[in-house]
Structure 1
C-alpha cells in the first residue's frame, strides 16, 4: 500500500480524497499546514505528496522548494488558480505534475499512478544498465546511480527531467517526438496546449547550461520534437519542417 501525504487545508477535498483513494490501495495522511507537512515528511515514509498551492500558513511553492532541497520525492501540485503561470512555476520548481481544481477524482488517480509508475521505472531502470555511463563532452550520466554531472558538478533533476534527458541521449542525436516524451516521461498522451514538456525542457536547459563550446545542448525541431546536439560545433540551421525554433518566454 502506498502512503500519500496530502498538504491541503480544504476539509471537503481531504474527505473526498480519503473516500476515493483508500479503496484504491492508498493510505493518506492529511494536514492543512505546510509547515506541519514538512515536519511529517521528516518523520514518515511517503511515496508521493499532493501539495496545494494556497495554504494558510505558507506558500505551496515554498513548501515545494523545501521538499526539493531534501529529496526527489514525487510531488503533484494542486492549484485552484486558473493562471497557467502558477502551473508553470510549479513545474519549474520541480513538481512532477499538476492538476487544477476542481478535478475529477478519477483523473487524479490516473495522475498519481502515472507519477508513481514513472518513479518506480526510473529507479529500477538502472539495473539492466548497471555500470553504464553516457559521456558527451562535459556531460556524464551514470545510470547505475541515476545521477547526472555537468562540467564536474552534480545536476539535480526531477524524475521527469532525468527521463527526458535519458531519452534524448539514448536517441544518439536523432529527434525524439513530443508524443514519445509525454508518454514515457509524463505517463500520459500529449494533450493540446499542454506546455508541461516545454517547461521540463526549459528546466533541463537551464540546469545544464550551454556546452563547453558555448552552443545549445537541446535543439527544438518544429513539429517534430527535440534532439541532443552531440558536437561542440554550432548546430546546423535547419529549414522547412525540420527547423528548430525558440518559443516565447524562454520556453523551447
Structure 2
C-alpha cells in the first residue's frame, strides 16, 4: 500500500489541495477533478484505485457521478459532504459509495478511511483473481463453472442457465455493483429494453434457491438505486 492512484473530486480547490498534501505524504499518487463529469472523463483514461468524491458540485454532482461510476467500476468510493444528517449519509451509501466523511473533516481520519478501503479492495481483487479457475467458492457456496453445478453446504442446487449465468457474473466480480441493465446485457447478450422485472425475477429465484433467508440475503446484496453485487 502507498503507490495506489487516488482520484480526488471536489469543486473547492483548497479541499483538493489539502487532501493531496496529506495523501502524497503517505506515498499515494493523486489525480484531481473539479466535478463529476471531469472525473468520469479521467476514469476513461486512467486506472484509479480509490475515489474521494464530494457530493455538492456543479456540472455533475457526486451522487450522479457515483451511480455512473458504479455501472462499470468497483474501486472504493468515499463520499464527502457538508451535510451531517443521517438521511444524507444513508442516501450516499445506497448509491454505491463505500464510506462517508462529513466536512469539516480531520485529514488523519480521512487517510485512515482511505487505507482501510484500499486494504478491503485489494483483498476483494485477490479473491476474484482466485476465482478464475473451475470453481468459485464464497463461504458455503461453491460454483463449478465447467459443470454448471452449484452447491450450498455440499448440497447441489438446481439453477436454470440464465440463473447460473447471473450468479457466475456476480461471483466473478465480487464487490462490483451491476445495474439491471448491465446484467441483462451481459447475460442475455442483447439490448436492454427497459425491462427491469426480467432481471429482478431471476435474482429473486436465485435467492430463493441459495439463501437461507431470501429477504435478508447473505450472498446477492441489493444496492438500492444501483443494482446487485456479491460482496464476500
Please confirm whether the aligned pair reaches a TM-score higher than 0.5, indicating the same fold: yes
- Higher relative contact order, structure no. (Cα contacts within 8 Å, ≥ 6 residues apart): 2
Stretch of structure 1 that moved more, 87-96 or 113-122: 87-96
Q: CA contact under 8 A between 2:70 and 2:176: conserved in structure 1?
A: no
The aligned counterpart of 2:175 is 159
Q: How does 1:22-171 map to 2 (within 5 A)?
A: 22-126=24-128, 131-134=134-137, 151-152=163-164, 153=166, 154-155=169-170, 159=175
* TM-superposed deviation, 1:3: 1.2
For 2:27 and 2:210, locate their aligned partners in 1 and report how far apart those are by CA, in whole Å: 51
- Distance change (3 Å), C-alpha of 1:125 and 1:155: closer
SS of equivalent residue, structure 1 residue 123 = helix
Q: CA contact under 8 A between 2:73 and 2:176: conserved in structure 1?
A: no
For 2:144 and 2:111, locate their aligned partners in 1 and report how far apart those are by CA, in whole Å: 32
Q: Deviations over 1:48-86 (max 9, x none)?
A: 111011111122111001101121121111111112112
The aligned counterpart of 2:208 is 211
* TM-superposed deviation, 1:26: 1.1
* TM-superposed deviation, 1:108: 0.5
Q: Deviations over 1:196-223 (max 9, x none)?
A: xxxxxxxxxxx9545149973365xxxx
For 2:42 and 2:81, locate their aligned partners in 1 and report how far apart those are by CA, in whole Å: 21
Aligned length: 173
In the superposition, the TM-score normalised over structure 1's length comes to 0.57
* TM-superposed deviation, 1:33: 1.7
RMSD: 3.7
SS of equivalent residue, structure 1 residue 110 = helix
Q: CA contact under 8 A between 2:128 and 2:174: conserved in structure 1?
A: no
Q: Deviations over 1:151-207 (max 9, x none)?
A: 33244877399xxxxxxxxxxxxxxxxxxxxxxxxxxxxxxxxxxxxxxxxxxxxx9
Q: CA contact under 8 A between 1:155 and 1:208: conserved in structure 2?
A: no
SS of equivalent residue, structure 2 residue 51 = strand
Gaps of 5+ in 1: 162-206, 220-226, 230-252
- Distance change (3 Å), C-alpha of 1:31 and 1:128: closer
* TM-superposed deviation, 1:142: 7.4
Gaps of 5+ in 2: 151-158, 178-201, 220-232
For 1:30 and 1:37, locate their aligned partners in 2 and report how far apart those are by CA, in whole Å: 8
